[in-house]
């Protein structure tokens, strides 16, 4: 497959050489790979943006999953935020609540946009629709946010993994958080290199995160991990924009994540056999939901 870039180093170098945004490089690559027009590629991402916005809005209105494990936390967070008592700041809590909203919709079998997976679908839209209120981006900039996220997701998917079953939750929520951090930086006017730094700072602080879904469902602790992923992304973006750099290059962080995932026991890679899923309460919830039946992976 002919591509414009294979890793983050090549991506940043190309963006700098041609004096283009990372989002622009990703658009050009999509045109080249898919053999569609620029307009067609952009229109598809606009549709993804629409799906994300609708899922955020639905989640903020309040949803509950069939299992009863998750739901309504996004509403609680928004109410708390509006009380003026929050300690972490309005933008941060807004991003967290909208990430939770998206994943609560996913848990309730609603329509979401996998970014990069369904289990990690809340981080990118959660941060996007929170920073929107701060940065007041144009519609095009919001779509570009997704292309920037996609550029980094492309690198991870092709050089490591975005699968919880293959690499733990670090590969899912960790990757999503890094993607969001890079996109925030570009939207805020940061350089391609700062986008890279934000991704690296984010991912290296989520290395080793296991995938241990209670009862084998993408609900607990998945929804709240998206919340933490969103907060991680916002902080890492601020650090990069402030000039903080990662001592370990972005591509090496991605490679480290891949190797850590390979070293994880299968019990911590989406099988629901270890971690929180194996706690007394986790097993009790499984039994309550499935009536004693064993979930897939047992």
User: Which sequence spans correspond to the domains of the chain?
Assistant: 8-290
Q: pTM score > 0.85 for this model?
A: yes
At residue 290's C-alpha, the angle toward residues 284 and 291, to 5°, is 80
Fold of 8-290: 2-methylcitrate dehydratase PrpD (1.10.4100)
Residue 41 corresponds to which tokens in the numbers above? 């590629």
Beta bridge partners of 71: 64
Q: What is the DSSP secondary structure assignment for residue 96, as one 8-state letter?
A: H
Distance CA 119, CA 7 (A): 24
Distance CA 151, CA 26 (A): 6
- Residue 292 pLDDT: 60
- Residue 2 pLDDT: 87
Beta bridge partners of 269: 211
- Residue 254 pLDDT: 98
**pLDDT tens, position by position, for the chain (298 residues)?**
789 999 999 999 999 999 999 999 999 999 999 999 999 999 999 999 999 999 999 999 999 999 999 999 999 999 999 999 999 999 999 999 999 999 999 999 999 999 999 999 999 999 999 999 999 999 999 999 999 999 999 999 999 999 999 999 999 999 999 999 999 999 999 999 999 999 999 999 999 999 999 999 999 999 999 999 999 999 999 999 999 999 999 999 999 999 999 999 999 999 999 999 999 999 999 999 998 654 443 3
- Residue 296 pLDDT: 44
Structural contact between residues 264 and 167, judged by C-beta atoms closer than 8 angstroms: yes
Distance CA 159, CA 179 (A): 15
Which residue in the block uniquely carries the two structure tokens 């370990």? 248
Beta bridge partners of 64: 71
- Residue 291 pLDDT: 87
- Residue 293 pLDDT: 52
């Amino acid at each position: 497959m002919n591509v414009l870039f294979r890793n983050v180093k090549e991506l940043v170098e190309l963006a700098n050489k041609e004096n283009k945004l990372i989002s622009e490089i990703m658009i050009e690559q999509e045109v080249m790979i898919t053999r569609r027009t620029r307009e067609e590629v952009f229109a598809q991402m606009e549709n993804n943006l629409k799906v994300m916005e609708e899922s955020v809005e639905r989640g903020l209105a309040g949803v509950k999953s069939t299992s009863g494990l998750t739901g309504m936390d996004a509403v609680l967070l928004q109410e708390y935020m509006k009380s003026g008592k929050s300690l972490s700041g309005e933008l941060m809590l807004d991003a967290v609540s909208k990430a939770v909203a998206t994943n609560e919709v996913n848990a309730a079998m609603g329509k979401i946009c996998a970014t990069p997976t369904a289990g990690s679908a809340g981080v990118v839209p959660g941060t996007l629709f929170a920073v929107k209120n701060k940065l007041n981006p144009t519609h095009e900039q919001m779509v570009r946010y997704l292309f920037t996220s996609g550029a980094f997701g492309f690198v991870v998917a092709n050089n490591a993994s975005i699968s919880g079953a293959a690499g733990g939750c670090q590969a899912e929520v960790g990757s999503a958080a890094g993607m969001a951090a890079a996109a925030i930086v570009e939207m805020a006017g940061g350089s391609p290199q700062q986008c890279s730094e934000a991704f690296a700072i984010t991912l290296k602080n989520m290395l080793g995160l296991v995938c241990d879904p209670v009862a084998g469902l993408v609900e607990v602790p998945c929804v709240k991990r998206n919340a933490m992923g969103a907060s991680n992304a916002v902080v890492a973006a601020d650090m990069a924009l402030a000039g903080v750099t990662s001592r370990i290059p972005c591509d090496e962080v991605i490679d480290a994540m891949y190797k850590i995932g390979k070293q994880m026991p299968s019990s911590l890679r989406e099988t629901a056999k270890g971690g929180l899923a194996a706690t007394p309460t986790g097993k009790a919830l499984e039994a309550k939901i499935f009536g004693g039946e064993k979930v897939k992976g047992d």
